Structure formats: C-alpha cells, structure tokens
Structure 1
C-alpha cells in the first residue's frame, strides 16, 4: 500500500461503525523500518493512532476497536512525527554521502506496517536499506 493513497482515509470504530477520525499522515520509525503510528485529524481527542491499536488497515478504511485507540503522542512518537520527519518529497542520500534521488512515495505492508520500498524519482530502494530520517534528508544503506 502506498503512503500517497492513505491520506484522508477514514478511521472507523468497529463497534458502532462510525467515523472517529481521518488519516493525516504516517509516523515512521527508521530504526525498525515500520510505521509507528497514524497521525489523525478530525478526532474528538488525541492526534495519533498507535499501529498496535489498528485492527485492520484496509483499502477503504482503518478499523479500530474503539475511539480511545486515538491518543496523544507518547515521547517516542512525538519525536518522530511532524514535517521534519515526513518521508515524501525528501532527498535521499546513501550512507556514503551520495544523493540518489527524491522520495515520490513509500510502499508499506498494511498488515505489519513494515516499509517495503522507498519509491524514488530515479529508482526503487528496498525498505530494509532505510537508516534514518531527518529534516534535511532520508539516509539509506549503500548495500
């Protein structure tokens, strides 16, 4: 599933089947190369949905058990969310310091949240090569 395809997707509570928020973005942990949380807008309270609280990440909606799954970010999530850690549009450098392109999109596994591929304007880079995300660039391993 692509990052570009999930923005605006509804977050639905499975019990009452009503919309409790909307996907505003994804918070990536470059250390584990996984989505840590979903940044939420239009929720009654809280601004993030931890990946562990997601029941299903489908083509049409994100399903959670309850609206209490959406919370305020913990310290780890707060450190990784925000504009400076957004992957889309960032330049990509290898660990050797060479620029290899700009991220057009990111492919991830909707079951596990694992980053499977960084889709650059020049090539695709396997997700396991992701090393770090900063305000200036995304760094990938040269191998």
Structure 2
C-alpha cells in the first residue's frame, strides 16, 4: 500500500538510467474502474507539466517512479487532483475533504480515501468532478 502524498514529488525516470523526466505532481483516478488512470509530472526541462498513462508505470519505489515509456497518451483526462478536494455524499451531505488516498502501487487500484472525517472505502466512490468527490453514504 502507498499514499498519494508519498508519490507526489518523486522523480520520474525512464528505464536504462535515463535522465529524470520530472517529478510527480498529481495522480488522476478513474472512479468507474476504481484505479489510478494517469500520472501528472512537471518536467525538468522547461518546467512544463505532462501526463503519462498509468500503463506506462513500471515500478514505484521510495525515491522514484520508473516508467516504461515517456510517450503522452492519445487522450488526456481532465485533471482532478483528489488531495484537498471536497467530499460529498450522493445526497449532497458534506463529508469533509480528502487528506490522502491509499492505493496498490502494483496495480493502481484505490484501496481507501482518507478524509478529514475518517476513511471512505474505495467501493463507496461514485464520481469525481470539478467541485467534489462524490461517495455513497455509509
């Protein structure tokens, strides 16, 4: 298990000892699959932000994310950073804000969302938009 906060700021490197591609700024979650779908990074050259599909991730370690390819995906999803996002139930009741997200680094599967009001199981996540993360009431 790993936390989103542990991955943010890690160097992203390609295989075979290539120069770092940048550092992780955010992870995008696909609520339908319940898994991380994309990795956002700020490049070491020109400081531009780019995105990689989760399928490009080979391993995540304590000091770096190793990717198989640095090729950007054909389609880029909207960037909805979960950390700090408001949490609402499907009825519109507030459930705090997202403090962190626990996930399996091997698969990207979300295990739990840690909010200011406690832990929300991954199977309760219904959707994610510009305004809030929507969860099923517990």
Q: Bin the TM-score by the shorter chain.
A: 0.7 to 0.9
Question: Which of 114, 118, 126 is residue 123 of structure 1 equivalent to?
Answer: 118
What residue is the counterpart of 1:72 in the other structure? 72
Alignment of 1:33 with 2:28, yes or no, is no
What residue is the counterpart of 2:4 in the other structure? 3
Write out the 4+ residue segments of structure 1 that deviate beyond 4 Å after TM superposition: 43-46
Question: Which of 46, 52, 61 is residue 64 of structure 2 equivalent to?
Answer: 61
Does structure 2 conserve the Cα–Cα contact (< 8 Å) formed by 1:21 and 1:41? yes
Query: Aligned partners of 2:106, 2:133: CA distance in 1, in Å?
Result: 24
Query: Aligned partners of 1:70, 1:14: CA distance in 2, in Å?
Result: 10
Query: Aligned partners of 2:15, 2:73: CA distance in 1, in Å?
Result: 22
Alignment TM-score, normalising by the size of structure 1: 0.84
**C-alpha displacement at 1:43, in angstroms?**
5.3
Alignment TM-score, normalising by the size of structure 2: 0.87
Across the two proteins, how many residue pairs are aligned to each other?
135
- Gap regions ≥5 residues in structure 1: none
RMSD value over aligned CA atoms?
1.9
Question: Which of 47, 50, 53 is residue 50 of structure 1 equivalent to?
Answer: 53
**C-alpha displacement at 1:37, in angstroms?**
1.1
Per-residue CA deviation, residues 96-115 of structure 1 (Å, 9 max, x unaligned), is: 22112111111111111011
Query: Aligned partners of 2:40, 2:77: CA distance in 1, in Å?
Result: 13
Query: Aligned partners of 2:87, 2:8: CA distance in 1, in Å?
Result: 22
Query: Aligned partners of 1:102, 1:46: CA distance in 2, in Å?
Result: 25
**C-alpha displacement at 1:73, in angstroms?**
4.3
Query: Aligned partners of 2:60, 2:20: CA distance in 1, in Å?
Result: 14
